[in-house]
Chain A
Amino acid sequence: QVTLKESGPGILQPSQTLSLTCTFSGFSLSTYGMGVGWIRQPSGKGLEWLANIWWDDDKYYNPSLKNRLTISKDTSNNQAFLKITNVDTADTATYYCARIGATGFYYFDYWGQGVMVTVSS
């Protein structure tokens, strides 16, 4: 059974660095072909892809945020991480991590419950 769960600070101030953790089970990020992505959703708005990390440590970032994002993983503890530097109120959102499924097609097949992050002074 695949599960993912996000954790984060809840609230932080503008200009701080947001650190998010995705703890998962039911698969391994050291297995060939596996990947995890981060997606966010401001309240009442749509979904925005942020970053992906793959089993071979290949990383991809949203170009509009690239300079502020860092994705990483700890395969021994089944965790993936996302850092966003210099946050502002526009980064207030629910942040999701999701497993990347691949059966000839790529898709986010399993999602965490999301963690709400508020940026406020």
Chain B
Amino acid sequence: EIVLTQSPTTMAASPGEKVTLNCLASSSVSYMNWYQQKSGASPKLWIYGTSNLASGVPNRFSGSGSGTSYSLTISSMEAEDVATYYCLQLSSYPPTFGSGTKLEIK
């Protein structure tokens, strides 16, 4: 089983600040998916195939990475970005999720 380690666990960013969330895989994966989950809501697909934004996702978000290291970047933090972000690898079984990064606003 591939273990995904997300960092940081929690972070707070000021409006307009650049934010980078990380996801480290215990073995190489072909691509990474990211989900945004707001309190009390279902997870939403945010980025798929490492760098493709899901429908409706603002273009201040981007994804990158390869092998064992992947990241989600917000170029300019906004209040609506407050959420927990999870990475998910589905390139090998069993699918595994990271433990999440909780993003707050200062």
Interface residues of A (CB under 8 A from B): 37, 39, 46-49, 52, 60-63, 96, 100-101, 103-114
C-beta contact mask, B37-60 vs A, less than 8 Å → 1, else 0?
000001111001100101000000
Q: Are A49 and B42 also in contact (CB < 8 A) when A106-B90, A108-B88, A109-B54 are?
A: no
- CB <8 Å contact, A107 and B94: no
Q: Is B76 part of the binding interface, using a Cβ–Cβ cutoff of 8 Å?
A: no
- Chain B binding surface, main DSSP class: loop
B48, A105: Cβ atoms under 8 Å? yes
- Nearest residue (CB) in B for A63 is B94
Contact partner of A111 (CB less than 8 A), chosen from B31, B43, B96, B98, is B43
Give the secondary structure class of A's interface.
strand
Query: CB within 8 Å of A: which of B53-99?
Result: 54, 86, 88, 90-91, 93-99
Interface size, chain B (Cβ < 8 Å): 24
The CA of A23 and the CA of B23, in the complex, are separated in Å by 33
User: How many Å lie between the Cα of A61 and that of B95 in the bound state?
Assistant: 10
Shortest Cβ distance from B96 into A: residue:
A49
B98 to chain A: closest CB distance in Å? Answer: 8
Task: Verify A105–B49 contact, CB threshold 8 A.
Answer: yes
Instruction: Across the interface, name the chain B residue whose C-beta is closest to A51.
Output: B94
Q: In the complex, are the beta carbons of B42 and A96 less than 8 A apart? A: yes
Contact of B49 among A39, A61, A100, A104 (CB under 8 A): A104
Q: Which residues of A contact B42 (CB under 8 A)?
A: 96, 111-114
Given contacts A48-B97, A105-B33, A109-B54, contact A63 B1 (CB under 8 A): yes
Please report the C-alpha to C-alpha distance between residue A96 and residue B48 in the assembled complex, in whole angstroms: 19
B88 and A60 within 8 A (CB): no
How many angstroms from the CA of A121 to the CA of B97 in the assembled complex?
Answer: 30
Tell whether, in the assembled complex, residue B94 and residue A111 are in contact, meaning their CB atoms are under 8 Å apart: no
CB-CB under 8 A from A47, the residues of chain B are: 35, 43, 86, 88, 97, 100
Decide if B48 touches A107 in the complex (CB within 8 Å): yes
For this complex, 29 residue pairs linking A to B, each with C-beta atoms less than 8 Å apart, are A46-B86, A46-B97, A46-B99, A47-B35, A47-B88, A47-B97, A47-B100, A48-B97, A49-B94, A60-B94, A61-B94, A63-B1, A96-B43, A101-B48, A103-B49, A104-B49, A105-B31, A105-B48, A105-B49, A105-B52, A105-B91, A106-B90, A107-B45, A107-B49, A108-B35, A108-B88, A111-B43, A111-B44, A112-B42
